Every structure is written in structure tokens, then in C-alpha cells.
Amino acid sequence: MDAPYVAVAAAADIEPGKFVKLTLDLDGRPQAFLIARVGDDYYAVEDNCSHEDYPLSYGCLDGNRIKCSLHGSHFSLETGEPEDDPADTPIATYRLKLADGQVWLDPSAPSNR
Ligand code: FES
């Protein structure tokens, strides 16, 4: 897989309905991501709620959405859009590919901005 994609997990290690958290060092700056699996689809989003900069990894999946555990907003894993109050700003989503049994993430730039 060509850069900027990096292998972040074995695809089989993420169970359907679950996510994993990982932190990458991007030019000396740590950035946290969630890699989520819904059925056979995989999604990558930033591990940060847009409402009050709270880790979304403290929350849980609800179908193809992630729920923030602090105030309850849901975000689409596909688009990053908030689906209910109080959040009103999208979270960043990132491109993923599956190859060689691995999940590959492009952390270089959000795919929805
Ligand atoms: S911090 Fe996530 S909804 Fe408020």
C-alpha cells in the first residue's frame, strides 16, 4: 500500500459492532483515531467530540453512528455529521482501505473537509 496509507489493525481483530482506538504520531503531534466496524464496513473518525473536545472512545457504537458519552450526541461514521443536539459541527472522517487482511488508514487529511 502506498503512502500516505498506514496499516493500523488486522481487519479480523475488529469485531462487528466494535471499534479500536489508536494514536499516531503525525509530524511530532499525536492524533487519536477510532477505527470502527459495522457489519463488513470499516470507518475511521477522529477520537474527539466536536462539542467539547471529549474522547468519543468513551462512547459506544449505535448502528453506523458513534454516541458521545458526555452529552449524548450521535455522529455518522460515514459523514461525520452530528445527528442530534448538542453537537452542531461534524467530526473528521478519514479514508480507509482493506488489503492483505489489514485495515489501512490515510491519516494525512480528513475526507469530509
Ligand atoms: S462533549 Fe460530546 S456531546 Fe458534548
In a domain, 86, yes or no: yes
Residue 111 counted as domain residue = no
Measured from the CB, is residue 50 less than 6 Å from ligand 1?
A: no
Question: pLDDT tens digits, residue range 62-101?
Answer: 999 999 999 999 999 999 999 999 999 999 999 999 999 9
Identify the burial level of 64 via C-beta atoms within 10 angstroms of its C-beta, where 0-12 means exposed, 13-18 middle and 19 or more buried.
middle
% of the chain with per-residue pLDDT over 90: 96
How many independent structural domains does the chain possess?
A: 1
Is the shortest distance between the CB of 4 and ligand 1 below 6 Å?
no
Q: Using CA positions, which residue lies closest to atom 4 of ligand 1?
A: 71
Q: Please, are residues 18 and 113 in contact by the beta-carbon 8 Å criterion?
A: no
Mean pLDDT of the chain: 97
Q: Is residue 94 part of a domain?
A: yes
Domain of residue 53 covers: 6-106
Cα 75 to Cα 50: distance, rounded to the nearest angstrom: 10
Distance 66 CA to ligand 1 centre (A): 11
Ordered strands of the 65-67 beta sheet: 60-62, 65-67, 74-76
**What percentage of the chain exceeds 70 in pLDDT?**
100
Ligand 1 atom 1, closest CA: 52
Identify the CATH number of the domain in which residue 88 sits. Answer: 2.102.10.10
Indicate whether 112 belongs to any domain: no
